[in-house]
Amino acid sequence: MSVQPEGEDLRKAVKWVLEEADFDPKKTLRDLIREACLKFDLSPLEADFLAKTLRERIPDSDSKA
């Protein structure tokens, strides 16, 4: 993936979400984005960017076993 988000907080959020997904694979992308928005004070537009950018790398199923 070569998309570089603008803004330091958004770059940190992308990195954080990827690290958290590896650390706790039970968390969904939706949960991770929600946490990242609070942690990095992201706007709804930035949250949407995270979802679109990371949806192929992190599953977003609430029915994980």
Cβ-Cβ contacts under 8 Å for 25 (sequence gap 6 or more):
64
Whether 39 is covered by a domain: the verdict is yes
Give the tens place of pLDDT for each residue, 20-51.
999 998 999 999 999 999 999 999 999 999 99
Provide the pLDDT for residue 63.
Answer: 43
Whether 24 is covered by a domain: the verdict is yes
Task: Kindly report the pTM of this predicted structure.
Answer: 0.78
Whether 20 is covered by a domain: the verdict is yes
Cβ-Cβ contacts under 8 Å for 26 (sequence gap 6 or more):
64
- Which H, E and C letters describe 16-64, residue by residue? HHHHHHHHCCCCCHHHHHHHHHHHHCCCHHHHHHHHHHHCCCCCCCCCC
Whether 1 is covered by a domain: the verdict is no
Q: What's the CA gap between 5 and 30, in Å, rounded?
A: 19
Residue 64 has pLDDT above 50, yes or no: no
Provide the pLDDT for residue 5.
Answer: 59
Number of structural domains (the chain) is: 1
Which residues form the domain of 15? Answer: 8-54
Whether 25 is covered by a domain: the verdict is yes
Whether 64 is covered by a domain: the verdict is no
Residue 1 has pLDDT above 60, yes or no: no
Whether 41 is covered by a domain: the verdict is yes
